[in-house]
A and B are shown apart, each in its own frame.
Chain A
C-alpha cells in the first residue's frame, strides 16, 4: 500500500489567515491526489482532485499543488466555515489510501 503522511496533524489559525497543509506519499503518485474536508458528524466533501483541480462549487480560496510525492492544500483566507478536518487521498493505485488528517482549529 502507498502510505500518505500529512503535516501538521493539527493547526490553530485565525479567520483571514493563509494556511497550508502538506501531504507526502511514500512513492510517486503522479498527480493522483485528492483533498477532502470533513466537519464533525458529517460525511467528507471533495475539495480538490488530481492535485490542483477545484471541485465544482468549492470556493476559490482553496487551491492545491504538487506532483510526484509532495503536495499542498492552501486556504488563502480562512473563513469561519473552514474550520474542519482535512484529508488527502492518493488515487494512483488501489487501495486509495488516505492521510491521517489535519484538524484545523480556531485560534
Chain B
C-alpha cells in the first residue's frame, strides 16, 4: 500500500527555522516525484515545488523560489520542506504528494500525505 506519512504539527516563532518531512512507503521512492502544496487557512491549494529523489532534480514555483528549500534523502525514503527564517505568513497546512511523471500522461498527484500544520506566531 502506497503511503506518505508527514511529520507532526509545528508551532514556531517568526525568524525560527523549520524542516518538515514526508516519508514514502509501499513503492519505489526514487522512481516518483514528490511535491509540496501549501494551503493557507481557509484558502486554496498552491503548488510549491517538486523533487525527484532518484537524482534530486528539483523544480520550484517562482512564488516559492528562495523562500523554501525542498530536499530528499533517498536512503530513508523521505522528502523535506524547510525554511531558514519563518514568517507569520508561512502559517498554513502543507501537504506532500506523489507525482508519477513529468513527461508522460501521468502528471498528477495520485497519493497525498495527511498534511503538516505549521503555525508561526510570536
Contacts and interface: CB of A to CB of B under 8 A. Distances in A.
B27 interface: no
A1 B95 contact: no
Contacts of B114: 43
A34 B108 contact: yes
Given A44-B95, A95-B60, 17 more contacts: A1-B61, A34-B107, A34-B108, A36-B109, A38-B45, A43-B95, A43-B97, A43-B112, A43-B113, A44-B37, A87-B44, A89-B108, A94-B61, A95-B62, A95-B63, A96-B35, A98-B45
Interface of B: 35, 37, 44-47, 49-50, 59-63, 95, 97, 102, 105-110, 112-115
Contact of B44 (A34, A49, A96, A101): A101
B47 A97 contact: yes
B105 to A, nearest CB: 5
Contacts of B97: 43-44
B110 A50 contact: no
Interface of A: 1, 32, 34, 36, 38, 43-46, 49-50, 53, 55, 87, 89, 91, 94-101
Contacts of A55: 110
Nearest to B107: A91
B50 to A, nearest CB: 7
Contacts of A95: 47, 49, 59-63
